[in-house]
Amino acid sequence: MHAAPGETILQSALREGFSLPYGCRNGSCGICKGKILTGTVDYGRYNEETLTEEEKQAGMALFCCASPVSDLVIECREISAIKDIEIKTLPVRVEQLDRVAPDVMIISLKLPANQRLQFLAGQYIDILLKDGKRRSFSLANAPHDDEVLQLHARNYPGGVFAEHVFTRMKVKDVLRFEGPLGSFFLRDTSEDVPIIFLASGTGFAPIKSILEHVFYQEASKTDKHGKRNMTLYWGVRTKADLYLVNLAEQWQQQHDNFTFVPVLSDALPEDNWSGREGFVHEAVLQDFTTLENHQVYACGSPVMVKAAYQDFTTMRKLPRDGFFSDVFTPSTSSE
């Protein structure tokens, strides 16, 4: 593992794909504490109650603050599964609200100064409402980019919290959430198994998190080896619903192992659309005669996810254990 100049041990480990545990990333919680077996470090700025002088003498360091001064051998705990990640309940402040499509709002949430949220790309959080109800939102930011949490909220008829987001929510409002939750995250495979991402509407959010994290980790790989081929099919109704289309196009320009296929189901005449049309999972059926050696990650409406699972596994020989999904079920006032 190579550290870039000024990088902490934790930063370089995360960049290279090692899931070291962390909490605050500023030297106050102690979750990242590990042992320096050989080599020297600059301990950086940290809270002295979190790392005592005796612990330092015993070779311990806070990996979120310490940076290497020489080659190091370290001993640490690695997060290998969701069960290793702590589920927290935290307050957050609304930092920014961006209405990016007629019915899509991007909500940026700031955590308290001494807190960070460790999660796997693709997971979600539950916003805890005052009446005891919860609303689930996928995290759209990547785990390495965790200063501000990003959610993509869609407005829909009868959605009480959605309506609140679109009419009354203001910057500086305080919310509480529990997370991270869910098992929608990228599975490692030993071989180069190509990946198909399938998103409908704001199902784009967790896939954005996964892709940004993959691109970030690939940036430290020097050769093409180990870069998996990835295709994103993003299905929406009209062109205006492709709310981050520029970002997806930019990924395609920058990464030769990534292809973006937008699909409209109800293109308007003024959309002047010459791209793919119809249901998003049908575009995959048209493009692939077999999915035998693929993984599919589908996120969005229940109808889309169900149809994709059925058709891919029966008509295209996708292995059942190669299909991963996160279904967005709308919540209404009666729930």
Q: Closest separation between CB of residue 24 and ligand FES, Å?
A: 4
Q: Closest separation between CB of residue 76 and ligand FES, Å?
A: 12
Q: By C-beta, is 48 or 191 nearer to ligand FES? A: 48
What's the rounded Cα separation, in Å, for the pair 296 and 209? Answer: 16
Over 189-215, what HEC string results?
A: CCCCCCEEEEEEHHHHHHHHHHHHHHH
What's the rounded Cα separation, in Å, for the pair 295 and 42? Answer: 42
β-pair type (323-327, 88-101): unpaired
Q: Which of residues 63-102 bind ligand FES (CB under 6 A)?
A: 64
Contact string (CB under 6 A) for ligand FES, positions 193-232, x = contact: ----------------------------------------
What is the total count of residues that contact ligand FES (CB under 6 A)? 13
Using alpha carbons, select from 161, 83, 152, 96 the residue that is nearest to residue 128: 161
Q: Closest separation between CB of residue 15 and ligand FES, Å?
A: 16
Q: Closest separation between CB of residue 154 and ligand FES, Å?
A: 33
Among 20, 36, 60, 62, binds ligand FES (CB under 6 A): 62
Signed CA dihedral, 74, 17, 93, 177: sign only: negative
| Cα dist from 1 to 42, 70, 157, 208, 236, whole Å | 17, 13, 50, 26, 41
Q: Which of residues 15-54 bind ligand FES (CB under 6 A)?
A: 22-25, 27-32, 50
Q: By C-beta, is 32 or 175 nearer to ligand FES? A: 32
Q: By C-beta, is 23 or 300 nearer to ligand FES? A: 23
Chain centroid offset of residue 22 CA? 17
Signed CA dihedral, 15, 16, 17, 22: sign only: negative
What helix, strand, coil percent values describe the chain, rounded to 5? 25, 30, 45
Q: Closest separation between CB of residue 132 and ligand FES, Å?
A: 31
CB 268 within 8 A of CB 238: yes
Q: By C-beta, is 27 or 206 nearer to ligand FES? A: 27
Q: By C-beta, is 115 or 200 nearer to ligand FES? A: 115
Q: By C-beta, is 87 or 94 nearer to ligand FES? A: 87
Does the footprint of ligand FES cover residue 117 (CB under 6 A)?
A: no
CB 268 within 8 A of CB 128: no
Q: Which of residues 282-321 bind ligand FES (CB under 6 A)?
A: none
Q: Closest separation between CB of residue 198 and ligand FES, Å?
A: 35
Q: By C-beta, is 45 or 130 nearer to ligand FES? A: 45
What's the rounded Cα separation, in Å, for the pair 334 and 199? Answer: 27
Q: Closest separation between CB of residue 32 and ligand FES, Å?
A: 3
Which residues are at the interface with ligand FES (CB under 6 A)? Answer: 22-25, 27-32, 50, 62, 64
